[in-house]
Structure 1
Amino acid sequence: MTGTSTRRFRHATMQDYPQVERIYEHGREVMARNGNPTQWGRTFPRPEVTLDDIAQHRLMLYVDNVGGRERILAQFAVCTGVDPTYEPIEGAWLDDDTYVTLHRVASSGLVRHAARDCLEWALKHYGNVRVDTHARNKAMQHVLESCGFARCGLIQLTDRDTDTTRIAYQRHEW
């Protein structure tokens, strides 16, 4: 983690939900402006997914405190266990060891390198991390590759009918 010492990670609560939704909206807008309008479209992630992430303690927030007020810098879901979407892969994972999957990574845009800090936190706490992104999401590809994630192949999303191909990445801290 870089920057001010007041930055930290915590689980999201239901009180965070309105701000979390605004950050996802910001993420959709940024992706669309940068030539990636279909990865999240206009409605992803759906509210019920976000609410379930909060209820199941999967949604992590990267926060700081400025002037006595907490700000959400970024958010992401940490999903433990086997991700069925990652079972068939055109390519190969680095290993078959236990891993966590990061989903729905979004930055509020308030600070630089927030996504990188989230990835580094996940690696420090879980050691073996998998993640995927859209071929047009050049920003996320850059962040993943600059953090040492290996491009492992292509996976197919199972929760939608179109635009299902994603680039799969993994990093395992041996």
Structure 2
Amino acid sequence: MRDYPHMQKNYARARELMARNGNPTQWGDTFPKDDVVRDDIAQRRAMLLVDEVGGHERILAQFALCPGEDPTYHHIDGAWLDDDSYVTIHRIASSGLVKHAARDCIAWALKHYGNVRADTHPNNKAMQHVLETSGFARCGLIQLLDRPTDTTRIAYQRHEW
């Protein structure tokens, strides 16, 4: 929880950056909500990419690493690469302190878990680029279950065989 304020700053930065780059609705002004971030921490899903400069630790990026089946992924307009066990990356955000922090988070997840899924908004061109240049396959479209509008997301998967 000591990192919570820094995580909230990173999420605020990500919301502003998305809005500035033509994607104002994916996270809007309030996503992820405080209780979601606190739950990520409590459930040990919150992953931090850190370094140390001058004896001080810095958070470079963060994401939620969610093991087990994601109910949102049960129905896809397209096809997943396989039905093997996977982890899902959600809520990735960078501090802006270094380049390629999101890519480094994704590389870590692939190295440690091998089969990774993610999704992003059709307007989030930056995340689509990061996923595609990280070797993820575009598998189709999914619909979010936790909101009434703006539910379509592009689904991705990479499986290190």
Q: TM-score range by the shorter chain?
A: over 0.9
Residue 19 of structure 2: aligned partner = 32
Task: Give, in angstroms, the shift of residue 65 of structure 1.
Answer: 0.6
Displacement of 1:151 in angstroms is 0.0
Number of matched pairs:
161
Determine the structure 1 residue equivalent to 2:88. 101
Kindly provide the amino acid, as one letter, of the partner of residue 58 in structure 1. Answer: R
Cα displacement (A) at 1:104: 0.1
Q: CA deviation at 1:25?
A: 0.3
State yes or no: 1:53 paired with 2:40.
yes
For residues 56 and 21 of structure 1, what CA distance do their matches in structure 2 show? 17
Q: Give 1:68's match in structure 2, choosing from 47, 55, 75.
A: 55
Please, which runs of 5 or more residues in structure 1 have no aligned partner? 1-13
Task: Name the % identity.
Answer: 75
Alignment-derived partner of residue 145 in structure 2: 158
SS of 1:162's equivalent in the other structure is: coil
Q: What displacement does 1:62 show? A: 0.2
Structure-2 separation of matches of 1:118 and 1:96: 23
Q: Secondary structure at the match of 1:53?
A: helix
Distance in 2, matches of 1:73 and 1:22, equals: 12
- With structure 1 as the length reference, what TM-score do the two structures score? 0.92
Q: Distance in 2 between matches of 1:147 and 1:116?
A: 7
Deviations 1:103-159 (A, max 9, x none): 000011110000100000000000000000001100000000000000000000011
Q: Deviations over 1:68-90 (max 9, x none)?
A: 11110000000001000000000
* Structure 2 spans left out of the alignment, 5+ residues: none
Q: Deviations along 1:27-48, whole A, 9 cap, x unmatched?
A: 0000000000000000000000
Quick one: which amino acid aligns to residue 55 of structure 2? G
CA RMSD of aligned residues (A): 0.4
Between the aligned partners of 2:22 and 2:58, the Cα distance in structure 1 is 28
- Separation of aligned partners in 2, 1:68 and 1:79: 31
| TM-superposed deviation, 1:163 | 0.5
After TM superposition, what 4+ stretches of structure 1 lie above 6 angstroms from structure 2? none
